[in-house]
Chain A
């Protein structure tokens, strides 16, 4: 009997070192030792499972919330995805006509960074900001300058920290109403009016699929630069072979085209970024639910072990008390 009791006691002691190094039990005291936090009355030795139970309840709530957020993001994604795919047809003729020249060497660069207003969407905003800063570095040098136009709160928070002097405009609260072309074109108009530019580089996350968002840069050149590049040949050199109808000159047409191109490219960029934001939020919330589920499993194991250990301890006390009475 004594050997059995000693074995059981050893079992009880074995639980303590097994449980305390576990990362999830950030509970400073292991559940086996009744501490001041447990508030047990003097003379009673029981093991409280309250701490573990509270933690399990909160983790379960978090899991429910993240699952719901994933559903919401999925439905919003469905709504906006058709819009984004339809808007791709707006800028493709421009690229066919004018080409996309990211390597154009210009004096005044303006980087338009598109990001989201709300958080919990994974790493897409950080990648956009990283690319914007990279573009800034790439295009800085003698006689060249780069300015930022920021759309969205998340990029604003990151860029305000170290690039304050280079910011021209900050635009937020873009997604209050569902995105439409009129809104983005008014926005593009504001940018064109307030910012001097030779080349506009728009940084956004292109939506390839629900799991893949590729950061892309679209370049829109000002009409003067288009003329300059046309002289050096290439795609733009063929512009003269087009006939111009109506009473407008080539310079005027180029200006109209440049403005409209900027507006179309912005529209597509904003929509694609919104899709990427919802997709990223879906996958972030999904992994968060899964992590919460794992955490819940581990906590359940701890809870059961604690419960069994407390039952074992009570049994030991009863048996040893009874055997002490017997003699």
Chain B
């Protein structure tokens, strides 16, 4: 059931189920999500689009948690000021979290909402899962057929 825009989704959708993309701990405690394609989304979205989204999110989180010269500088400066600087300044992690929420919003509007899906920002679920809500068109009972509109997800 193709939803051409959020307006349609809004007026005629009802929540069918939610799919949870779990964390991938194979690289340790860093924030990374599994790219395994859930079966429930099989008929709703192309595998490549989904994987692209998750991989881009993983890249963002990896960048946020990267231990490099910039994070050392931030850490040492913070220590020297007895960490008071954390109260005044926005940390690099927080800046990247904002970028992530913009990216998710853009993905939702361009790719997921037209297919009757909705991504939830992982920060709202304690960074444990990416929650994907699947909506069904409450008016129709026909089987789903997603119109494929190729759109490239641009990472910011």
* Chains A and B form a bound pair: no
Give chain A's interface residues, CB within 8 Å of chain B.
Answer: none
Give chain B's interface residues, CB within 8 Å of chain A.
Answer: none
